[in-house]
Amino acid sequence: MQMPLSFAADARLPVILDRLSAAWPPREAQNADPLSQLVFMLVSADTPSAIALAAHQRMRLRYPRWSDLRDEAPEVLLNVLRGVERAVEKAVTLPRLLQAIEDRHGLLELDFLGGWSTAAAREWLEALPGVDSTISAATLNFSTLRRTILTLNNQTARAARRLGLVEKGAPMSALDRQVMDRVPADWQAREVSVLYGGLRKLTETYCHQGKPECGRCPLNDLCPSASAQSASIIRFPGITATKQPAASA
Ligand code: SF4
């Protein structure tokens, strides 16, 4: 049986947020409407940001109305999505996704979810074609819905695991909720989205899939997975933990 993380582990999260924000200052961007955010998340899944943004821009130029994208043939859409990871699958899924939203809601928009609880909205979204827990969380957090819910993709989940923000061996689908159980009670949507953005930068810069560069990481002294370079014990107010070798995700 997995033991829950200690209360002391929660105390690191404000410090982690401050350090990530100092290392990679968050950009204050205007939030998109939830359907635009949902479509962008599906396009950008597992794809480098620059490629995903370019593909999404091409797509919006070519299909200014959602009904245009809904009715597009996958083989044509595939060209618009060139460069995107799993483009073939996404070219099939995107029109189906929009059709499913219209079938279930009657309109091609998701603003109605603003009147729903976060749990109910998430359940509704995750029943749509191609929408997993990462995409539903991002839609609810990054869009104008601004729900206090954490997005974790495969990369940021790696950092969360190494930092000990989740239980060892927990399935991917449980990770965002486990981190959310440990964030300060006064955190709101902005803090949570800044945490995601910082973890994303962290994984791109230091917390690589292979060998992490723990010696350069701003969270080194807070991380139980940091490579044993300077000391065998991590000390942080209220936390004492034995360092473990860096674990792979
Ligand atoms: S100290 Fe190392 S394992 Fe921990 S978050 Fe930083 S890079 Fe990742």
Residue 31: phi, psi to the nearest 5?
-80, 140
Q: What is the pLDDT of residue 244?
A: 37
**Which residue type is seen at 184?**
P
Which residues partner with 239 through β-bridges? 236
Residue 217 CA: nearest ligand 1 atom is: 6
Does residue 231 carry a pLDDT above 80?
no
234 ligand 1 Cβ < 6 A: no
- Decide if 150 contacts 137 (C-beta within 8 A): yes
Q: Higher confidence at residue 19 or residue 133?
A: 19
Q: What is the pLDDT of residue 50?
A: 86
Place of tokens 């819910």: 149
Does residue 249 carry a pLDDT above 70?
no
Q: What is the pLDDT of residue 30?
A: 85
pLDDT digits (tens, 9 = 90+) for 118-159: 999 999 999 999 999 899 999 999 999 999 999 998 889 999
206 ligand 1 Cβ < 6 A: yes
The least confident of 93-107, 146-160, 216-230 is 216-230
Residue 27: phi, psi to the nearest 5?
-85, 135
- Decide if 118 contacts 151 (C-beta within 8 A): no
Domains parsed from the chain with CATH numbers = 1-24+148-249 (1.10.1670.10), 34-142 (1.10.340.30)
- CA 207 / ligand 1 centre spacing (Å): 5
pLDDT digits (tens, 9 = 90+) for 48-63: 888 999 999 999 999 9
